[in-house]
């Protein structure tokens, strides 16, 4: 018993009664209300539920069905929620018909550069500002980010442009700080299976962008999303950013087949990061268009006014004029698949 399906006539008292019964068995209830049905996802070791206990649930008024989910990820599965999840972030919906674009520098370098980039990407049509204040770098000698100072610059840029902010978290101890300054919490590829971090982020109500690990399977990725959702945070977006293969012509191999696969397996929005996926500026635009054609719900793209001087990932960052050109080119692609940019 993993899902309890209630009819539209189910009362609050009946839902509360079911929740209390589950809690008495050491389980938790995740309630998702739709237009026609209310779904209760049962969280915990449901294998211990006896047939008699399951029958008791079935006998409660308002219960239409009790379902077993075979997949190990329950809350993230299509079986738990048939309709697509739409996440509203400051009035911008991710997962709907319109495809938002998150744009900005890989790393926040200083207030002037960040504000300039924010103004230019907004003018071109971006809907979110991305920027790293804490940077996970392969080398300990590389630029590690400005920390809280960088978060303050992001908040100032948001105030000036109106663009909601997405930034990365690396350490659970920084959660309160990042929640204070950001609108979306990003979990990077290297931390996709940092389970302590996932659980901590799950305890907040801030939307989360969960990037795919360097060598992670789709199942492992969805299980990481399940960690976040199991703590109560259902606002999870999955970001394909390229996986590590034998190919060396690009930084990573952007797995666009993951987009339609995820659409079958999960109700969560799917975001594509072509910048990290290819690692080369000249390849970002064609892969961004391909991502939209494949069904991506949002894009996240690195933009810098002076990529040659960027302190991180300059080789894959578009210049503002290139980003503006891409935004114009994306619109007919989105229209061709029934979407909007």
Q: What is the pLDDT of residues 124-136, one digit of tens each?
A: 999 999 999 986 6
In this predicted model, which residue has the larger pLDDT, 187 or 52? 187
Tell me what the mean pLDDT of segment 108-123 comes to.
96
Specify the pLDDT at position 51. Answer: 82
Specify the pLDDT at position 1. Answer: 61
Tell me what the mean pLDDT of segment 255-280 comes to.
97
Tell me what the mean pLDDT of segment 211-238 comes to.
96
Tell me what the mean pLDDT of segment 198-225 comes to.
97
Tell me what the mean pLDDT of segment 53-71 comes to.
84
d(CA 186, CA 309) in angstroms, rounded, equals 24
Are 105 and 117 in contact by the 8 Å Cβ rule? The answer is yes
SS (H, E, C) 188-227: CHHHCCCHHHHHHHHCCCCCEEEECCCCCCHHHHHHHHHH
Distant-in-sequence, close-in-space partners of 332: CB < 8 Å, separation ≥ 6: none
d(CA 1, CA 91) in angstroms, rounded, equals 36
Mean pLDDT score across all residues of the chain: 92
Give percent above pLDDT 90 in the chain. Answer: 69
Pick one of 1.10.390.10, 1.10.1740.10, 3.20.20.140, 3.30.70.1140 as the CATH number of 3-67. 3.30.70.1140
Find the DSSP H helices in 59-110.
none
DSSP state of 304: -
Specify the pLDDT at position 142. Answer: 65
pTM of the model: 0.87
- Architecture of the domain delimited by 87-336: Alpha-Beta Barrel (3.20)
Domain assignments of the chain as residue spans, ordered by start: 3-67, 87-336
Specify the pLDDT at position 92. Answer: 97
User: Is 141's pLDDT higher than 60?
Assistant: no
């Amino acid at each position: 018993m993993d899902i309890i399906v209630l009819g539209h006539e189910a009362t609050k008292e009946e839902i509360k009664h079911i929740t209390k019964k589950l809690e008495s068995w050491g389980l938790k209830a995740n309630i998702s209300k739709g237009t026609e049905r209310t779904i209760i996802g049962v969280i915990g070791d449901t294998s211990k539920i006896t047939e008699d206990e399951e029958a008791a649930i079935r006998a409660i008024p308002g219960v239409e069905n009790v379902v077993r989910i075979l997949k190990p990820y329950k809350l993230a599965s299509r079986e738990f929620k048939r309709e697509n999840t739409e996440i509203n972030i400051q009035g911008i919906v991710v997962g709907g018909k319109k495809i938002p674009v998150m744009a900005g520098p890989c790393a926040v370098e200083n207030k002037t550069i960040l504000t300039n980039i924010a103004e230019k990407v907004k003018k071109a049509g971006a809907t979110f500002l991305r920027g790293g204040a804490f940077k996970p770098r392969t080398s300990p000698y590389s630029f590690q980010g400005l920390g809280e100072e960088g978060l303050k610059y992001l908040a100032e840029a948001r105030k000036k442009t109106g663009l909601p902010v997405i930034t990365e978290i690396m350490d659970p101890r920084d959660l309160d700080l990042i929640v204070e300054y950001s609108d979306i919490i990003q979990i990077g590829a290297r931390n996709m299976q940092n389970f302590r971090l996932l659980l901590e982020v799950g305890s907040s109500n801030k939307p989360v962008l969960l990037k795919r690990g360097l060598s992670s399977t789709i199942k492992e990725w969805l299980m990481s999303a399940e960690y976040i959702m199991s703590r109560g945070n259902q606002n999870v977006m999955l970001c394909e950013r390229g996986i590590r293969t034998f190919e060396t012509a690009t930084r990573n191999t952007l797995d666009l087949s993951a987009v339609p696969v995820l659409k079958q397996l999960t109700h969560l929005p799917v975001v594509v990061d072509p910048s990290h996926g290819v690692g080369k500026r000249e390849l970002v635009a064609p892969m961004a268009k391909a991502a939209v054609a494949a069904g991506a719900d949002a894009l996240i793209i690195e933009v810098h006014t002076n990529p040659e001087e960027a302190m991180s990932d300059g080789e894959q960052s578009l210049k503002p004029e290139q980003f503006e050109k891409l935004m114009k080119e994306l619109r007919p692609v989105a229209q061709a698949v029934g979407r909007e940019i």
